[in-house]
C-alpha cells in the first residue's frame, strides 16, 4: 500500500515505541526558518528521537532540527568544535576520530544530536571521573519563543545556560553549540572484566575500580539466593599506540564500519520473556566472567547496541519502557538492592540492566548525582507497568530521582515528590523566559 | 592526471548540496554557485571541515544572462564537471493564468540552465574534456494538467541535454541527464508524495555520482520511474488526454 505524507503530519514516538502520536513535524534548514515556525505557537525541538518517551513530541509543532547539521568551525590545537545543534554524534566521530579526537562524554548510542545531548545533559561511563556533557560545552546559542537568540555560557546568561542542561528542550531551541573534544591516540579501548558473585561485591567493585576512566556494570537481575545481584563490571581506558599488539597497529584511528544488522519488522512480543533472558544471563555471566583484559574498538565498547540498527523493534509492536533512576550515595546500597529484589522476586527480566556509580552533581537540573544509577528495559505490558510503579515508590523512599530522557510514564505527583528542583525550574521558566511557549507531551503530563 | 573539480549551479537546492557532499567525500574540489551566495557560508565551512577539500562560493543568478560572463571570469578554473541543479517549480494554477509567472518558470528551468551549460560545453570542447550533468524531471516526460508549465520547461531541458550529447558524442565529453521522480526536498515539502516513488537528495546524489563514473546517458531516480514513464508515454494521446495523473 502506498503511504501518503500529508501536510507535514507524521506519526512519531520516542525510542521506546510505546506510544505513537500524529504530530505536525517541521523540518527547518536554518535558524531563520525555525523562527518562522515557532512564532506564536507552542513548540518543542526534536533531535534524532532517541529519548525513550514523550519528551521530544509536541502535537501541533514539533521542530525536527536534524537538518541544521553543519560543522561551523574546528580548532585543531585545542579540540574546540562549533556545530549546529542538529548534527549527530556519529557524524562528529566520523569526521574527528581519524584526526585523533573523540567526544569527552558519550551516551550508549552515537545516534543522538548534540542539541539532544544538552537537553538531557547526557552522561557516559566516565561520569565518576569526567562529569556530564555540560562540562565540555563552552557556549551555546538558544532561540526563545520570540525568535531572539541568546548566547549562553558559564559566564554569560548563566542561569539559562544552567537550566538548559537537563531542561528537556523546555527552555528554548538550541541552535549552535561550541564544545571540546578529547585528544586520543588510538581508537582502541583496553577493557577489563571484573566479575562479582553477589550484590555486595558488585557495589564494592566500583570503589575498587574508581580510578578507571570508564566503568559500567551489567547485572543479572533474575539471579536469586546466593547469586542475587551478581554482575560483570567492565572498565576501560583509551589505549596508547605503545599499548597495542602489532596486529592492531594497522588500524589506529579508523572509523569502524561494521556491517549493521537491521531490524525491519517488529519481532513478536513473546520473544522477550523471562525464560529467554534467564538463559541468556546465565550464558553471558559464565562465558565472560573469566575474560580479564582485551582490546576492543571504541564502537564495540561504547555502542554495542548501535550495530543492531533499530534494535527497539525486538520488543515488538507494543514497544517497551526504559527505567533509569539514581540514588544518593548514602541510600544507594538500599535503593539499588530494593529495586533488584522487586525484579528477582517477580522474575521480571530486563535485557539491559546496567549499574553505574556517578560522580558529583554539577548542573542545576541535570540527572546525575553522586551515587548509583540503574537502567532497565521492560517490554510494554500491564504487569511491567505495575512493577514500574513499585520502582517509583522505591525511588521516593530512598530519595532518588528518575531520568527524564528515559521516562514516559511516571505520574506527575510522584515526579514532583522525587524531584525537589522542579519548583525552581518552573519558576525560572515562568519568570525569566519571555512569552514562554515550549512544551512537550512529557512536560504536560508532568505539569512542568 | 585530470583535475577533479565540480561546479554546482543551484547549490542551495537540497539535491545540489547533497551532490556537493558526495563529491567532496571523494576529494573533489567543490565550487558552489547560487543566488545570495553569502548565505551558504556555513555550508562552505561544513564541507571544508568534514572532507578537507578546497571549497569556494560564487554568486550566480540563472535569470540574469548578462551576468554569465562575469560569473565565469570569476571562477578560478573551468571545472572538470558542471552540474545544473537549478530549478523552480512554481504553482501550476498560478502559472497557467499568469504569463509573467510562467515566463520565470520557463526561463529558470530551461532557457537559463541550457544557456549557461552551452557556454561550459563550448569551453569543454576547446579544452578537450568535460562532463555536463543536468537535473531534469519526470514532469518533462509528456505534459500533464497538474504541472505542464514546469513540465514543458523540463521537457525542453531534457531535449537540450539529449541534443548536446548527440553533438559531442565522438568527443571526450560526457553528458548525463538525471530524471528524478519525487524527491523529498524543500521544493516538495507539504506535498502529498507516494513514499515508494520518492527518493531523498542523498539517494539522488549517490546515483548521480555512480552515473558519472560509469558514463551513463540518462538515469531515472528511483529506477522504477523509467518504466512508469514508458507506460505513460505509450498511451495514445486520444486516451492520455482524459487521464488525471
Those residues of chain B that have pLDDT short of 70 are 1-2, 190-191, 245
Mutate to test the interface with A, among B20, B32, B49 (most CBs of A within 10 A): B49
Model confidence at A269, pLDDT cuts 50, 70, 90, reads low
The verdict on residue B52 lying in a domain is yes
Q: How many residues does chain A have?
A: 448
pLDDT tens digit string along A165-197? Answer: 999 999 999 999 999 999 999 999 999 999 999
Residue B194: strand, helix, or coil: strand
Query: Per residue in B47-62, pLDDT tens?
Result: 999 999 999 999 999 9
Distance from CA of A9 to the nearest CA of B (A): 9
Alpha-carbon distance of A268 to A272, in angstroms, equals: 9
Distance CA(A144)–CA(A167), nearest Å, equals 14
Q: Using CB atoms and an 8 Å cut-off, which of residues 163-202 of chain B contact chain A?
A: 186, 189-190, 192-196
Report the alpha-carbon distance of residue A201 to residue B6 in Å, rounded. 62
Alpha carbons B222 and B214: distance in angstroms, whole number: 17
For position A4, what pLDDT does the model report? Answer: 37
User: Could you report the per-residue pLDDT of B197-245, keeping only the tens digit for each?
Assistant: 788 899 999 999 999 999 999 999 888 888 888 888 888 888 888 877 6
**Measured between beta carbons, which residues in chain B are less than 8 angstroms from residue A7?**
190, 192
Indicate which CATH number applies to the domain containing B65.
3.40.50.720
Quick: pLDDT tens for A233-246: 999 999 999 999 99
A6 pLDDT band (50/70/90 cuts)? very low
Could B195 and A29 be called an inter-chain contact, meaning their C-beta atoms sit closer than 8 Å? no
Q: How far apart are CA A213 and CA A228, in angstroms?
A: 27
Cβ–Cβ below 8 Å for A70 and B43: yes
Q: Is residue B133 part of a domain?
A: yes
Q: How far apart are CA A164 and CA A405, in angstroms?
A: 13
- Domains of chain A from N-terminus onward: 71-185 (3.30.465.10), 188-410 (3.30.70.2520)
Peptide bond into B43 cis (omega under 30): no
How far lies A398's CA from each of A250, A333, B199, in Å? 50, 10, 52
> Cα(B18)–Cα(A234) distance, rounded to whole angstroms?
41
What's the mean pLDDT when you consider all of chain B?
Answer: 92
Q: Cβ–Cβ of B49/A74 closer than 8 Å?
A: yes
| CB neighbourhood size of A310 (10 A) | 15
Nearest Cα of chain B lies from the Cα of A96 at a distance, in angstroms, of 8
Mark out the alpha helices in B175-214 (DSSP H runs): 201-213
Q: What is the extent of the structural domain holding B26?
A: 5-240
Nearest-by-CA chain B residue for A8 = B190
* Strand, coil or helix: A250: coil
Q: Do B45 and A73 touch (CB under 8 A)?
A: yes
Are A345 and A301 a contacting pair, CB within 8 Å?
no
Residues of A in contact with B189 (CB under 8 A): 8, 27
**Considering the domain boundaries, does residue B245 fall inside one?**
no
| Element counts in chain B: helices (H) and strands (E) | 10, 9
* C-beta atoms of A7 and B50 within 8 A: no
pTM: 0.92
Provide the chain A residues 81-100 that lie in CB contact (below 8 A) with chain B: 84, 95
CA gap A86, A176 in Å, rounded: 9
* pLDDT at A23 (0 to 100): 94
Over residues A68-84, the pLDDT tens digits come to 999 999 999 999 999 99
- The Cα-based distances of B151 to A79, A108, A161, A398 in angstroms read 50, 49, 51, 68
Among the listed residues B34, B74, B30, the one whose alpha carbon sits nearest the alpha carbon of residue B54: B30
- Position B124 in a domain: yes
Which of B45, B186, B194 is closest, CB to CB, to A4? B194
**CA of B43: which chain A residue's CA is closest?**
A70
Counting the structural domains of chain B, the total is 1
**Is ipTM beyond 0.90?**
no
Bridge-based pairing of strands A173-183 and A214-219 is: unpaired
Q: Enumerate residues 251 to 280 of chain A having a beta carbon within 8 A of any beta carbon in chain B.
A: none
Residues 106 through 165 of chain B touching chain A, CB cutoff 8 Å: none
Cβ of A2 and B194 within 8 Å?
A: yes
Predicted local confidence at residue A3, as pLDDT = 35
Closest CA to B176 of B85, B110, B108, B58: B85
pLDDT, one tens digit per residue, over A384-400 is: 999 999 999 999 999 99
A72 and B193 within 8 Å at the Cβ level: the answer is no
| Cβ contact, residue pair B193, A84, below 8 Å | no
Q: Closest-CA residue in chain B for A69?
A: B46
Provide the edge-to-edge strand list for the sheet that holds A21-26. Answer: A9-12, A21-26, A62-64, A44-46
Q: Are A298 and A253 in contact (CB under 8 A)?
A: no
Amino acid at each position: 500500500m502506498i503511504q501518503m505524507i500529508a501536510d507535514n503530519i507524521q506519526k512519531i514516538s520516542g525510542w521506546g515505541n510505546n506510544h505513537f502520536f500524529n504530530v505536525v513535524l517541521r523540518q527547518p534548514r536554518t535558524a531563520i526558518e525555525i523562527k518562522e515556525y515557532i512564532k506564536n505557537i507552542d513548540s518543542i525541538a526534536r533531535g534524532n528521537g532517541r529519548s525513550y518517551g514523550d519528551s521530544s513530541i509536541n502535537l501541533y509543532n514539533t521542530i525536527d532540527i536534524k537538518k541544521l547539521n553543519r560543522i561551523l568551525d574546528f580548532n585543531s590545537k585545542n579540540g574546540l568544535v562549533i556545530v549546529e545543534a542538529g548534527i549527530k554524534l556519529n557524524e562528529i566521530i566520523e569526521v574527528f576520530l581519524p584526526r585523533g579526537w573523540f567526544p569527552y562524554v558519550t551516551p550508549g548510542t552515537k545516534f543522538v544530536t548534540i542539541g539532544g545531548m544538552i537537553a538531557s545533559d547526557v552522561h557516559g561511563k566516565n561520569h565518576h571521573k569526567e562529569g556530564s556533557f555540560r562540562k565540555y560545552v563552552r557556549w551555546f546559542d538558544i532561540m526563545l519563543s520570540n525568535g531572539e537568540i541568546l548566547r549562553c555560557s558559564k559566564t554569560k546568561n548563566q542561569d539559562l545556560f544552567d537550566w538548559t542542561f537537563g531542561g528537556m528542550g523546555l527552555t528554548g531551541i538550541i541552535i549552535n553549540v561550541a564544545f571540546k573534544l578529547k585528544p586520543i591516540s588510538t581508537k582502541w579501548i583496553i577493557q577489563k572484566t571484573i566479575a562479582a558473585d553477589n550484590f555486595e561485591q558488585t557495589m564494592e567493585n566500583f570503589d575498587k575500580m574508581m580510578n578507571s576512566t570508564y566503568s559500567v556494570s551489567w547485572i543479572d537481575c533474575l539471579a536469586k539466593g546466593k547469586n542475587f545481584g551478581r554482575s560483570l563490571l567492565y572498565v576501560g581506558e583509551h589505549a596508547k599506540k605503545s599499548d597495542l599488539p602489532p596486529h592492531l597497529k594497522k588500524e589506529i584511528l579508523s572509523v569502524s564500519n561494521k556491517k549493521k544488522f537491521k531490524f525491519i519488522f517488529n519481532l513478536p512480543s513473546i520473544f522477550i520473556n523471562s525464560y529467554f533472558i534467564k538463559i541468556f544471563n546465565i550464558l553471558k555471566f559464565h562465558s565472560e566472567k573469566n575474560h580479564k583484559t582485551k582490546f576492543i574498538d571504541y564502537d564495540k565498547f561504547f555502542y554495542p547496541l548501535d550495530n543492531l540498527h533499530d534494535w527497539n523493534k525486538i520488543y515488538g509492536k507494543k514497544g517497551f519502557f526504559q527505567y533509569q533512576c539514581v540514588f544518593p550515595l548514602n541510600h544507594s546500597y538500599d535503593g539499588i538492592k530494593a529495586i533488584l529484589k522487586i525484579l528477582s522476586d517477580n522474575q521480571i527480566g530486563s535485557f539491559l540492566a546496567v549499574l553505574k556509580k556517578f560522580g558529583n552533581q554539577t548542573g542545576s537540573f541535570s540527572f546525575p548525582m553522586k551515587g548509583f544509577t540503574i537502567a532497565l528495559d521492560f517490554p510494554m505490558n500491564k504487569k511491567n507497568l505495575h512493577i514500574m510503579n513499585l520502582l517509583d515508590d522505591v525511588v521516593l523512599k530512598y530519595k532518588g530521582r528518575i531520568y527524564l530522557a528515559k521516562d514516559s510514564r511516571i505520574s506527575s505527583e510522584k515526579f514532583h515528590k522525587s524531584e525537589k528542583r522542579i519548583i525552581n525550574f518552573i519558576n525560572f521558566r515562568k519568570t525569566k523566559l519571555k512569552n514562554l511557549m515550549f512544551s512537550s507531551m512529557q512536560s504536560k503530563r508532568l505539569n512542568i | 592526471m585530470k583535475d577533479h573539480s565540480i561546479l554546482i549551479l543551484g547549490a542551495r537546492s537540497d539535491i545540489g548540496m547533497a551532490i556537493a557532499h558526495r563529491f567532496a567525500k571523494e576529494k573533489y574540489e567543490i565550487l558552489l554557485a547560487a543566488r545570495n551566495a553569502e548565505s551558504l557560508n556555513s555550508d562552505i565551512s561544513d564541507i571544508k571541515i568534514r572532507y578537507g577539500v578546497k571549497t569556494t562560493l560564487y554568486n550566480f543568478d540563472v535569470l540574469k544572462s548578462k551576468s554569465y560572463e562575469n560569473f565565469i571570469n570569476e571562477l578560478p578554473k573551468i571545472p572538470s564537471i558542471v552540474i545544473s541543479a537549478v530549478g523552480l517549480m512554481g504553482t501550476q494554477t498560478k502559472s497557467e493564468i499568469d504569463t509573467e509567472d510562467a515566463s520565470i518558470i520557463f526561463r529558470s528551468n530551461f532557457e537559463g540552465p541550457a544557456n549557461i551549460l552551452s557556454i561550459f560545453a563550448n569551453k569543454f570542447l576547446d579544452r578537450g574534456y568535460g562532463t555536463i550533468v543536468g537535473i531534469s524531471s519526470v514532469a518533462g516526460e509528456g505534459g500533464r494538467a497538474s504541472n505542464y508549465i514546469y513540465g514543458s520547461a523540463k521537457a525542453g531541458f531534457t531535449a537540450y541535454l539529449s541534443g548536446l550529447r548527440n553533438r559531442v558524442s565522438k568527443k571526450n565529453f560526457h553528458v548525463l541527464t538525471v530524471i528524478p521522480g519525487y524527491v523529498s526536498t524543500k521544493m516538495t515539502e507539504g506535498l502529498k508524495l507516494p513514499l515508494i516513488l520518492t527518493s531523498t537528495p542523498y539517494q539522488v546524489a549517490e546515483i548521480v555520482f555512480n552515473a558519472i563514473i560509469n558514463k551513463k546517458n540518462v538515469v531515472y531516480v528511483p529506477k522504477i520511474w523509467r518504466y512508469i514513464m514508458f507506460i505513460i508515454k505509450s498511451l495514445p494521446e486520444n486516451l492520455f488526454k482524459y487521464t488525471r495523473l
